Every structure is written in structure tokens, then in C-alpha cells.
Amino acid sequence: MVDSRHILSLVNDAAARAERLHQGEAGEIRIGFTSSAPFIRAVSHTFSLFRQSYPGVHMQTREMNTREQIAPLNEGVLDIGLLRNTPLPDTLNREVILHEPLMAMIPREHRLAQKPVVSLTELAEEPFVFFDPHVGTGLYDDILGLMRRYNLSPTITQEVGEAMTIIGLVAAGLGVSILPASFKRVQMSEMRWVPLAEEDAVSEMWLVWPKHHEQSHAVQRFCQLLLLAARRD
């Protein structure tokens, strides 16, 4: 005969877990993010605060470029995505969490590194280190689109897959490049970050989620914390 106290314990445990799920204190949250997202203060702060505040929620994080996140978000494989501004299908919602300037990266001994600001025209005349077009990063279209608005086309001499590789190659003197200001947290003595003269040289980081998939309470809590942190910054 099954011990009634054991049954009662199981029922109580199930009820407690259901309540934790309802309060957003248990369960799982699946987050996709671009390589630049952790360099954004609001994002790194939210990851840390959420883990401390809700230790019962498992955070499954996946580093993916902007284009790679679209299908998993649509299919409900990801609950939310942190990605750069890019055309989105009607099935996805977005909220801007950061509007930041793009900045030039220049080897320290280069003549342009001594200037307080540089123009896109000046950068387009230099060997340019940039993303491989097949990688699928949103920054590829973002930055080249900016240069096309000024009828410019950079002389791309090195194509790589990661932003950190771009930073390393610029520091090694292989060329110049452009990245969002959030990457400025990476400081290397061999290169300088220099503001761009063009006022529309900006990029955005978005919080994106599927319209037709109901968000768990844990996901809602995370989004609330992130948007609050973004507004403060």
C-alpha cells in the first residue's frame, strides 16, 4: 500500500513547483545573442542580476549572429534574441535596448589615429578589415549600408568571422575597421578607438521575441529586467 504521506509530499512538491513556475522562479529561458551583446552594460548586468535573483531558472544561452537567430525565434526554439538591427519577418516583435554610435578602429601608429574624429571617406581609402559576407552578421549590412549612403565602398583586404578577430587584426596593423561603441570595452594599446564624423553612424541592439508563442513568466521577468536596465543606461 502506498504511503499516504509520500503521496501528499509529492502533491505538495508539485504544487510548489507549479507556483514557482507561475512566479517566474523556475523553468528555463532560451536566449540567443550576438557576440557584441555581452559588451553592452545593460545586457551583462541583466544576465548577472537574473541569475542571482532567480537561481531556480535554467538560462540556456547560445551565441549566434543576427541572421542565425531569425529561424529559431520563429520556430520557438529560442524564447528571445539579442541581435542587431536587421529586417525582421512580421512574426517577430522587437524592442530597442541600445542606440549607440559606430566607431573607427585604427592602429595606434597610423596618421588617422591622432585625429579627434575621422570621416568615412578617410577610412574608405585605407585597407579595411571586415566581416566575411557569408557569416551572416547584421553588422555587415549595417556598416556597408552606411558607407553606401555616402557613395563609398571600402577596400576590404581581410575578411574574418568574428568581431574580436577584427579588433586583433587592426591592433596588428593590418588595416582599419568600424564596430559599435560597446566593443570599446576591449582596449588594446596597439590601436585607438576614434569617433566618426557622420551623425548617422549608429547601430542598434534589439530584444526580439516571437509574436505567436506565449512567453513563460521567467521570460517575462528577464525581459522586464533588461528593458529596465536599458532605460537606466
CATH number at residue 162: 3.40.190.10
Q: How confident is the model at residue 4 (pLDDT cuts 50, 70, 90)?
A: low
Q: What percent of the chain has pLDDT over 70?
A: 89
Across the range 12-40, mean pLDDT stands at 71
Q: Is 216 a member of any domain?
A: yes
pLDDT in tens, 188-209: 999 999 999 999 999 999 999 9
Q: Is 168 a member of any domain?
A: yes
Cα dist. 102→119, 123, 140, 179 in Å? 12, 13, 12, 6
Residue 1 has pLDDT above 60, yes or no: no
Same domain, 88 and 111: no
Same domain, 185 and 133: yes
pLDDT number for residue 97: 96
Q: What is the largest CA-CA distance in the chain?
A: 86
Same domain, 122 and 75: no
Same domain, 146 and 174: yes
Sign of CA dihedral 92, 60, 179, 162: negative
Same domain, 133 and 226: no
Residue 19 has pLDDT above 50, yes or no: no
Give the span between the Cα atoms of 45 and 228, in whole angstroms.
11
Domain, as residue range, for 144: 100-202
What are the cell numbers at 151? 557613395
pLDDT in tens, 93-141: 999 999 999 999 999 999 999 999 999 999 999 999 999 988 867 899 9
pLDDT number for residue 9: 52
pLDDT in tens, 53-87: 999 999 999 999 999 999 999 999 999 999 999 89
Residue 52 has pLDDT above 50, yes or no: yes
* Angle 207-212-217 from CA coordinates, rounded to 5°: 65
Q: Is 132 a member of any domain?
A: yes
Same domain, 53 and 29: yes
Same domain, 68 and 157: no
How many structural domains are present in the chain? Answer: 2
Same domain, 150 and 225: no
128 touches 180 (CB < 8 A): no
Q: Please count the CA atoms within 13 angstroms of the CA of 70 that sit on its side-chain side.
A: 14
Residue 21 has pLDDT above 50, yes or no: no
What are the cell numbers at 133? 559576407
Residue 15 has pLDDT above 90, yes or no: no
Same domain, 213 and 187: no
Same domain, 107 and 41: no
* Coil, helix or strand at residue 132: coil
pLDDT number for residue 213: 87
pLDDT in tens, 128-162: 999 998 886 789 999 999 999 999 999 999 999 99
Same domain, 41 and 127: no
Same domain, 67 and 117: no
Terminal C-alpha separation, the chain: 61
Q: Is 121 a member of any domain?
A: yes
